């Protein structure tokens, strides 16, 4: 019995020794990190000077500060909390004071809202109280934060000193405290090993007294080593991994601690929960801006297709009355956009006459001239016989001469007459199709004259529900406008047509004012009309709404100075520059309004 039982206890003793060595020695010379509560002097930051910069964040309702410790350089980024703009008023180091554990550090101004300082010696692994005082833009604020440097980033202590701590008077207690519940398990294994050694000694003594033959010992040894193998397997199965490779061990030498923020702490990346980590330097490059949102109550907005038209009271068309050839007026043809006055001669049309028509007019003119010559001679003869010819005959001859002269003048003017094209109203030339020598038909449009500050816009309403909402003559429209660039131009409802055009109901608006000059006749625009019951929502710029991978509308909300969260929202049109978010946002949320498309591309 004893011969096969002894190797079992020998194996227990060896395993106990291994557990003890695992708890106190580091075979890979990679020592366990010190407790987080101990702040020790260190000489380097983990990951070198660029791999894993450490951060602290402080903020108030008006200002936010992000500190980035990279190597031994601490960089401060000071921004407005509301819109993410750099604090442009903070341009001098005298406006910002940085205190670390009661010690003020000198700052260097790099850019508006950006400062740098050298971290004091020595670096300490632990919590560092940081205070930043900002005096800029008429406000003074003190922002407090804590920069936490974990023990894992500390420099390694001296190897001999580590062994001295491991085998000193408090080594056993430190071993238990450092390893928690697994340290207590190692103590149990130690006691079991001591008991195995005692029993092994007794068994050896008995085996020496009861020596047997060599063959018997072979059989007993085989059984003993078999049991020993079973004991080793059982011990390896029940031994916890933490006891097999304690915190001080690192047998593979390939394990790497995760970085503080992202792969290198300096690049934007998508987090597992869908948020985006965007470092402050990248935000400065992208000119990222945010806007706090507030819910407002506004009437429902309808977006309608529309077209710019000429105001019939302030514009007109110039058309040819007869077919003929165009000729410029005394001042030439007017150019596009040229201002003209009412009645100003713009061009002339030389009537185009056929050969027979012109020959007939010329023959008629010749006959009239011959008759006129005879009438004039007769008047002369009657005047010579005035004493014998009654006055009535002389007067009749004179009237005949005057009538023939008028006929000759009319026929002559008909052969040489030109159609004068004059401006019907004062304004500017909106369109011109005039070329010298061009042949035009009667009724051809040659010029259009409009008043650029008085136009009309005709919108088409296709949805019958919208037609009922707008009401007759646009009485239910509370507000209407058109977007001209970045400017909204107010429109005045004129009326609603009572007949459909292309299965749509026309709705007329009058546009007046300087902002209308950016529109052109015939231009297609979008008209926004507010009508109906007011609706509660958060207005945000249209550029803030993006699409996620599921093709859902989202906006990016700033959660912290360097973290942004995507929010699925529902929207409806508000105006050309904004949309109304009806669900998905809360009052006070800071929505990204500039740079949202770049933020949405981070994967």
The structural domains of the chain, with segments of one domain joined by +, span 2-31+157-244, 41-153, 267-307+452-603, 316-447
List the structure tokens of 141.
């604020």
Query: Range with the lowest mean pLDDT among 46-50, 231-235, 410-414, 527-531?
Result: 46-50
pLDDT of res. 78: 94
Residue 258 per-residue DSSP state: P
Helix (H, G, I), strand (E, B) or coil at 444: coil
Please, what is the angle between helix 2-24 and helix 214-238, to 10°?
40
List the structure tokens of 183.
């340290």
The pLDDT tens digits of the residues spanning 305-314 come to 899 999 988 8
Q: Would the pLDDT of 359 be above 90?
A: no
pTM: 0.56
Q: Would the pLDDT of 597 be above 90?
A: yes
pLDDT of res. 264: 54
The pLDDT tens digits of the residues spanning 41-73 come to 333 333 333 345 788 999 899 999 999 988 888
pLDDT of res. 390: 83
pLDDT of res. 147: 87
Mean pLDDT throughout 573-581? 81
The pLDDT tens digits of the residues spanning 502-554 come to 888 888 899 887 778 888 888 999 888 887 778 889 999 999 999 999 999 99
Mean pLDDT throughout 394-406? 83
Mean pLDDT throughout 11-32? 44
Q: H or E segment at 597?
A: helix 596-599
pLDDT of res. 539: 93
Model confidence at 200, in pLDDT bands (50, 70, 90)? low
List the structure tokens of 77.
């980024």
Most confident of 54-58, 173-177, 574-578: 54-58
Report residue 226 CA to chain centroid gap. 72
Distance CA 79, CA 536 (A): 31
pLDDT exceeding 90 applies to what percent of the chain? 27
Q: H or E segment at 287?
A: none
Q: Would the pLDDT of 192 be above 90?
A: no
pLDDT of res. 224: 52
Identify which of 130, 134, 141 has the alpha carbon closest to the alpha carbon of residue 67: 130
Model confidence at 215, in pLDDT bands (50, 70, 90)? very low
pLDDT of res. 195: 65
Q: Are 149 and 78 in contact (CB under 8 A)?
A: no
**Residue showing tokens 């819910």:** 295
Query: Range with the lowest mean pLDDT among 5-14, 338-347, 525-534, 553-562?
Result: 5-14
Average pLDDT value over all residues in the chain: 75
List the structure tokens of 226.
């078999």
pLDDT of res. 471: 56
Between the CA of residue 177 and those of 80, 106, 173, 174, 244, what are the distances in Å? 46, 41, 6, 5, 18
pLDDT of res. 197: 64
The pLDDT tens digits of the residues spanning 438-473 come to 888 888 999 999 998 889 999 888 877 776 666 544
Mean pLDDT throughout 173-193? 53
Model confidence at 274, in pLDDT bands (50, 70, 90)? very high
Helix (H, G, I), strand (E, B) or coil at 567: strand
pLDDT exceeding 70 applies to what percent of the chain? 68
Beta-carbon count within 10 A of 238 CB: 8
**Residue showing tokens 């708890």:** 23
CATH number of 316-447: 2.40.50.100
Reported CATH class of domain 41-153: mainly beta
Model confidence at 225, in pLDDT bands (50, 70, 90)? very low
Mean pLDDT throughout 228-256? 42
Mean pLDDT throughout 313-317? 89
**Burial (CB count <10 Å: 0-12, 13-18, 19+), residue 218:** exposed
Distance CA 600, CA 566 (A): 9
Query: Range with the lowest mean pLDDT among 105-114, 148-157, 497-506?
Result: 148-157
Between the CA of residue 336 and those of 110, 309, 428, 496, 524, what are the distances in Å? 53, 17, 8, 33, 20
Between the CA of residue 416 and those of 221, 349, 352, what are the distances in Å? 142, 11, 11
Give the contacts of 504 (CB within 8 A, at least 6 positions apart).
460, 461, 462
CATH T-level assignment (fold) for domain 267-307+452-603: 2.40.420
pLDDT of res. 80: 93
pLDDT of res. 289: 95
């Amino acid at each position: 019995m004893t011969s096969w039982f002894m190797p079992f206890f020998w194996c227990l003793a060896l395993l106990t020794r291994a557990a003890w060595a695992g708890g106190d020695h580091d075979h890979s010379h990679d020592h366990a990190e010190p407790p987080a509560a101990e702040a020790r002097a260190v000489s380097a930051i983990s990951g070198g000077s660029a791999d894993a910069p450490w951060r602290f964040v402080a903020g108030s309702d008006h200002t936010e500060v992000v500190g980035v410790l990279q190597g031994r350089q601490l960089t401060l980024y000071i921004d407005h909390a509301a819109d993410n703009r750099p604090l442009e008023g903070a341009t001098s180091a005298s406006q910002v004071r940085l205190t670390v554990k009661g010690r003020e550090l000198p700052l260097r101004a790099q850019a508006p809202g950006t400062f740098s300082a050298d971290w004091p010696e020595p670096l300490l692994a632990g919590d560092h109280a940081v205070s930043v005082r900002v005096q800029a833009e008429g406000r003074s604020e003190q922002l407090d934060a804590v920069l936490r440097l974990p023990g894992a980033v500390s420099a390694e202590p001296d190897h001999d000193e580590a062994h001295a701590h491991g085998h000193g008077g408090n080594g056993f207690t430190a071993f238990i405290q450092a390893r928690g519940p697994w340290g207590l398990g190692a103590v149990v294994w130690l006691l079991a090993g001591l008991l195995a050694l005692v029993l092994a000694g007794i068994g050896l003594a008995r085996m020496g007294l009861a020596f047997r033959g060599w063959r018997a010992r072979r059989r007993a040894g085989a059984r003993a080593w078999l049991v020993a193998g079973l004991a080793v397997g059982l011990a390896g199965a029940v031994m916890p991994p933490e006891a097999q490779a304690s915190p001080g061990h690192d047998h593979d030498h390939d394990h790497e601690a995760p970085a503080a923020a992202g792969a290198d702490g300096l690049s934007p990346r998508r987090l597992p929960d869908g948020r985006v980590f965007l470092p402050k330097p990248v935000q400065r490059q992208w000119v990222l801006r945010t806007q706090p949102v507030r819910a407002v109550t506004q009437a429902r907005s309808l977006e309608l297709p529309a077209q710019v038209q000429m105001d019939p009271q302030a514009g007109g068309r110039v058309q040819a009355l007869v077919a003929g050839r165009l000729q410029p007026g005394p001042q030439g043809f007017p150019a596009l956009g040229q201002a003209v006055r009412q009645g100003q001669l713009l061009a002339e049309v030389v009537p185009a006459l056929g050969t027979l028509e012109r020959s007939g007019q010329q023959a008629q003119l010749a006959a009239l001239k011959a008759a006129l010559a005879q009438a004039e001679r007769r008047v002369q003869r009657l005047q010579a016989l005035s004493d014998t010819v009654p006055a009535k005959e002389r007067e009749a001859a004179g009237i005949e001469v005057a009538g023939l002269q008028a006929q000759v003048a009319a026929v002559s003017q008909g052969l040489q007459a030109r159609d004068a094209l004059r401006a019907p109203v004062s304004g500017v030339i909106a369109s011109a199709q005039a070329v010298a020598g061009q042949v035009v038909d009667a009724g051809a449009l040659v010029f259009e004259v409009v008043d650029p500050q008085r136009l009309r816009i005709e919108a088409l309403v296709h949805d019958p529900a919208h037609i009922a909402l707008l009401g007759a003559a646009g009485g239910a429209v509370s507000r209407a406008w058109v977007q001209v660039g970045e400017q909204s131009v107010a429109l005045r409802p004129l009326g609603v047509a009572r007949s459909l055009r292309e299965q749509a109901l026309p709705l007329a608006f009058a546009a007046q004012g300087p902002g209308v000059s950016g529109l052109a006749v015939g231009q297609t625009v979008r008209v926004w009309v507010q009508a109906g019951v007011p609706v509660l929502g958060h207005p945000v710029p249209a550029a803030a709404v993006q699409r996620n991978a599921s093709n859902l509308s989202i906006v990016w909300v700033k959660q912290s100075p360097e973290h942004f969260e995507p929010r699925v929202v529902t929207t409806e049109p508000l105006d050309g520059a904004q949309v109304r978010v009806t669900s998905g946002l809360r009052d006070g949320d800071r929505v990204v309004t500039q740079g949202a498309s770049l933020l949405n591309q981070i994967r």
